[in-house]
Chain A
């Protein structure tokens, strides 16, 4: 077992998700590897210190504040959608705009993909009365397998 695997296994052992055979494998590695042994000790110490860290105290009048807030809320709407897990089909942080100036290409049988892409590649944009300039974006090209040669 190498150090990369050992470091990963360390987490499982610490968090109690590793089986006894796996723990043994880790211990064999630790017996012979100073770096990983040190890492494991550090992990354990960090974990213990985390548990000993002072827990910040919430305000003592929390409950009354919460109840006051609840009382001030409008009547509940029970027609909420039930959400067990975070539904993340919506766009995460991309501005949810789809300004595509009619450039959607549906899958039309018979249209060669590359031709169609070329055909809509160039769109002339007038820039507020100034001289026209052409703005392009690279077309979707046929996938080319990388075939580089490097020496290292």
Chain B
């Protein structure tokens, strides 16, 4: 069994545990799907939403046993899910990096491949218009949903796809990069899920969506406010439908889940830079309670 091999190699290498875990699901009958999860606490595992959703229960492998999570929290907006377990089965876990990596940084991508753990190095190329981190790395089995770690062993993010960009300079005319959903986009959400503080007593009063732009000069990427409830906090703060929230307290945001998380965890009002038809203004958003 490939797991035995991995364990043997791990013991031989002197490393007995890793925050990269295997998630196993039954797909169609006879097909077992293996994907990657990253332990972010002794009893939380984060993974791409696609791997945890659906009728089949995702099981996480710990010491040769398969554990079923107690609860699964998923965010459609971020495309992530957090599996919560009884007890504290994970002996090793990673902490999300507090800041974006810089162009040129070397990351380690680690994921669950068919044959076992796969781990390669990748270099950060740039930050994409919608906040994704583009990494140049060879395509390999097991990298979808893989964790990207920096030199401090912190979790920079999760691989959630491949982007092909057009480049006149290369003979192929295009370059392929792995896209990483960086931790600053989801760490606030993850912290709230782990602390169990996800509910607010009064709603903020907006309906919003992620809105990314191809051309940053024409229009920035951000969180598009689609509807504002009359008399709500959002309305009182000055948000209107069509507003594009670009940053909160100086940090660029690209996803409504991030905005919600920041509002929930704020101690005081947040400065929001809001873009509307070529004009930008700054308003104060009251925190969610």
A and B touch in the complex (CB under 8 A): yes
A residues neighboring B (CB under 8 Å)? 2-5, 7, 33, 35, 86, 88-89, 91-101, 103-107, 109, 113, 116-117, 120, 123, 125, 127-128, 133-152
B149 CB within 8 Å of chain A: yes
Known interface pairs A93-B92, A100-B118, A143-B179; A2-B271 also in contact (CB < 8 Å): yes
The SS class assigned to the A binding surface is loop
Q: Are A150 and B257 in contact (CB under 8 A)?
A: yes
Q: Are B30 and A133 in contact (CB under 8 A)?
A: yes
Cα(A34)–Cα(B279), bound, Å: 36
User: Among the interface residues B51, B108, B132, which one has the most CB atoms of the partner chain A within 10 A?
Assistant: B108
With both beta carbons as reference points, the residue of chain A lying nearest to B152 in the complex is identified as A88
Q: Are A95 and B267 in contact (CB under 8 A)?
A: no
As a 0/1 sequence over residues 12 to 33 of chain B, the CB contacts with chain A under 8 angstroms (1 = contact) are: 0101011110000001001111
With both beta carbons as reference points, the residue of chain B lying nearest to A114 in the complex is identified as B162
Known interface pairs A97-B6, A136-B32; A88-B112 also in contact (CB < 8 Å): no
B34 CB within 8 Å of chain A: yes
- Smallest Cβ distance from B215 to chain A, in angstroms? 14
B242 CB within 8 Å of chain A: no
Contact of B163 among A4, A86, A143, A150 (CB under 8 A): A143
Q: Are B34 and A148 in contact (CB under 8 A)?
A: no
Chain B residues with CB below 8 A from A92, complex form: 108, 149, 151, 153
- Smallest Cβ distance from A128 to chain B, in angstroms? 7
Contact of A152 among B2, B226, B256, B271 (CB under 8 A): B256
Cα(A89)–Cα(B107), bound, Å: 8
B182 CB within 8 Å of chain A: no
With both beta carbons as reference points, the residue of chain A lying nearest to B204 in the complex is identified as A152
Q: Are B249 and A146 in contact (CB under 8 A)?
A: no
B84 CB within 8 Å of chain A: no
Given contacts A92-B149, A96-B15, A140-B178, 16 further A-B contacts (CB under 8 A): A2-B266, A89-B106, A89-B151, A94-B15, A94-B108, A95-B6, A96-B119, A99-B118, A100-B140, A125-B2, A128-B1, A137-B113, A141-B161, A143-B161, A150-B76, A152-B206
Known interface pairs A99-B117, A136-B27; A113-B162 also in contact (CB < 8 Å): yes
Contact of A138 among B20, B50, B108, B267 (CB under 8 A): B50
As a 0/1 sequence over residues 243 to 258 of chain B, the CB contacts with chain A under 8 angstroms (1 = contact) are: 0000001000001110
B194 CB within 8 Å of chain A: no
Q: Are B116 and A150 in contact (CB under 8 A)?
A: no
- Complex interface residues of chain B between 108 and 136 (CB less than 8 A to chain A): 108, 110, 112-121, 130, 132
Cα(A105)–Cα(B77), bound, Å: 31
Cα(A109)–Cα(B174), bound, Å: 10
Chain B residues with CB below 8 A from A106, complex form: 138
B207 CB within 8 Å of chain A: yes
Cα(A134)–Cα(B229), bound, Å: 50
With both beta carbons as reference points, the residue of chain A lying nearest to B139 in the complex is identified as A105
Chain B residues with CB below 8 A from A109, complex form: 171-172
- Smallest Cβ distance from B171 to chain A, in angstroms? 7
B158 CB within 8 Å of chain A: no
Chain B residues with CB below 8 A from A142, complex form: 161-164
Cα(A32)–Cα(B272), bound, Å: 22
Known interface pairs A2-B270, A149-B208; A137-B141 also in contact (CB < 8 Å): yes
Q: Are B15 and A123 in contact (CB under 8 A)?
A: no
Chain B residues with CB below 8 A from A152, complex form: 200, 203-204, 206, 208, 256, 260, 263, 288
B79 CB within 8 Å of chain A: yes
Q: Are B266 and A101 in contact (CB under 8 A)?
A: no
- Smallest Cβ distance from B79 to chain A, in angstroms? 6
Q: Are B141 and A100 in contact (CB under 8 A)?
A: yes
Q: Are A150 and B114 in contact (CB under 8 A)?
A: no
Cα(A130)–Cα(B223), bound, Å: 52
Q: Are B260 and A96 in contact (CB under 8 A)?
A: no
A-B contact pairs, 12 of them (CB 8 A): A2-B271, A4-B249, A93-B153, A94-B119, A99-B5, A99-B116, A103-B113, A104-B138, A104-B140, A134-B31, A137-B112, A140-B139
